Amino acid sequence: MNELQLSYETYLSDFCEAIFAREFVSRGLSHCRTARWRTGIDRFAEDSLGTIVSAEENSSSQAAVVQVGESLSLVNLNEGFVSIRMATQEPGVDRLLEHFRRVFPPAEHVEKQVVDVRFWRSNNEGCARSSNRSINVPSWGEIQGNYPGSTVDLLSPCSKTSAPATTGS
């Protein structure tokens, strides 16, 4: 008799996501909101999060299911970004979002040019995962010496353009 064997590659947040989903359903929560931003915080301060239901961590990220009052949140802190899925019984999570913005203050704008990039990858089973990285981008003045004069003449006008007023959609 042939036997079917399944395997599943798990990631840090998978365990907390499963617990969050189970608790979301068992507690009868009906409203959910997600927020994500860059933060200067790189480790949880567990005493300021709320009541931790479950937590996981590895060398570069942390995940936790947190109870604040009657709400439940899944918090992921990874490489300078925090993403939070907040679940409540009633609509509106503004106070809860304010709580997490105090715990994970948005990173201050730095004059250094940094671009946030999301990298996607897939394993052999077709499971897609992403990770975020911040890449330092030198100014044109810092790197134009790496190019021949004819290229500098052509590209220099492009470096004087300003950022677009809005992002693409």
Q: What pLDDT, in 10s, does the model give residues 5-24?
A: 655 555 555 788 889 989 99
User: For the whole model, what pTM was predicted?
Assistant: 0.61
Q: What angle do CA 106, 52, 12 make, to 5 degrees?
A: 75
Given a contact cutoff of 8 angstroms between Cβ atoms, the answer to whether 58 and 76 are in contact is no
Positions of the chain with pLDDT under 70: 1-2, 4-13, 109-112, 161-169
In whole angstroms, what is the distance from residue 68 CA to residue 52 CA? 9
The two three-digit tokens of residue 165, written as one number: 């007023």
What rounded mean pLDDT belongs to the chain? 82
The span from the CA of 94 to the CA of 107, in Å, is 20
Are the C-beta atoms of residues 32 and 85 closer than 8 Å to each other? Answer: yes
Give the C-alpha separation, 155 to 162, whole Å: 14
- pLDDT, residue 104, reads 93
